Chains A and B, each alone.
Chain A
């Protein structure tokens, strides 16, 4: 806690004298001294001793999770890309088989769409709830 002299308090108050625009007597200074003492005193309570370790671990885990999510995204992109490429190759070299293949997929379009939407929905919900929990260290 900083100990302030009367001169220091007066100086600090005069810094704002352009805003204040009034004179202070020694009794006013005395009241300000009490206020300054309280203001310069840190509030009670604090963070736990292992706070920095906990935050450090959490930050690292979050970074790793983000990295693994990115990896998963890349894997999915590669898988879809490969599927599209193989469909294209099939269409070029085996047009008959490709149209039959396309007809089968077309028949199943609603099931495929539903599965995809559900998958993305579950992933998103999991991410949202995980994000809420992780700050409280429950993840």
Chain B
């Protein structure tokens, strides 16, 4: 928290290098979130840029009531959702009736099942999940964010976060088991 305070104060004093280091520190978090939500690769960089410009504009209103990373993630999440709404590319899948329409790209019988191949398939399956599932999975697994912070970012109760993480993983498991036998994955 102290480091956050120092960097924010330096930026507010007009130190441009401090803003650059803020971008350097938080760009993996923002990029991971955007990468999982925005399907079009060309748009990802633009959205990242817009998020950081918004962070710069809103920084004077940051009151240190949460961690800087949580605040930035909240901005990134809301901005990305607005972007998806604007470009009408948002996943319209209902959370109650989630069905993943992934083609079963199973390797040929004589090919050995390669771990990287499966990992890529899981990544592809994640992209088919509803956006709320994708974001909670990303924040929990890639960013090691605690449930309370994820709840803050996504503006939902902690119980819902846990539920979404569980349901998302279960969906991935079911899909994977439809393509491979359990023994093949061990």
Interface residues of A (CB under 8 A from B): 13, 15-16, 19-20, 27-28, 30-32, 34-43, 45-48, 51-56, 58-60, 62-63, 135-137
B7 within 8 A of A: no
Q: How far, in angstroms, from A56 to B15 measured CA to CA in the complex?
A: 10
Contact indicator B162/A15 (Cβ below 8 Å): yes
Give chain B nearest CB distance to A29 CB in angstroms: 9
Using A35-B169, A53-B20 as known contacts, say yes or no to A47 and B31 having CB atoms under 8 A apart: yes
Given contacts A38-B119, A59-B52, is CB(A51)–CB(B27) below 8 Å?
A: yes
CB atoms of B185 and A31 under 8 A apart: yes
Cα–Cα, bound, A19→B165 (Å) = 10
Cα distance, A118 to B35, chains bound together (Å):
43
Q: Is there contact, CB below 8 Å, between A36 and B166?
A: no
Q: How many residues of B contact A (CB 8 A)?
A: 48
Main secondary structure of the interface of B (DSSP, over half): helix
| Sample (8) of A-B pairs whose CB atoms are under 8 Å apart | A27-B182, A34-B118, A38-B119, A51-B45, A51-B48, A56-B16, A56-B20, A59-B56
Instruction: Report chain A residues within 8 Å CB of B172.
Output: 35
Q: Which chain A residues border B20 with CB–CB below 8 Å? A: 52-53, 55-56
Cβ-defined contact, B185 with A34, below 8 A: yes
CB of B1 closer than 8 Å to a CB of A: no
A35-B173, A40-B142, A43-B36 known; A59 and B19 CB under 8 Å? yes
Q: Is the interface of A mostly helix, strand, loop or mixed?
A: helix
The answer on a CB contact under 8 Å between A55 and B123 is no
Interface residue ranges, B against A (CB under 8 Å): 16-17, 19-21, 23-24, 27-28, 31-32, 35-36, 41, 44-46, 48-50, 52-53, 56-57, 115, 118-119, 122-123, 126, 137, 141-142, 159, 162-163, 165-166, 169-170, 172-173, 176-177, 182-183, 185-186
Contacts of B165 in A (CB 8 A): 16
Chain A residues near B17: list those with CB within 8 A: 56
How many angstroms from the CA of A30 to the CA of B82 in the assembled complex? 38
Beyond A20-B170, A43-B123, A56-B17, 7 additional contacts (C-beta under 8 Å) are A30-B186, A32-B173, A34-B176, A35-B173, A35-B176, A39-B137, A55-B53
Complex Cα–Cα for A58 and B48 (A) = 13
Given contacts A35-B169, A47-B31, contact A60 B16 (CB under 8 A): yes
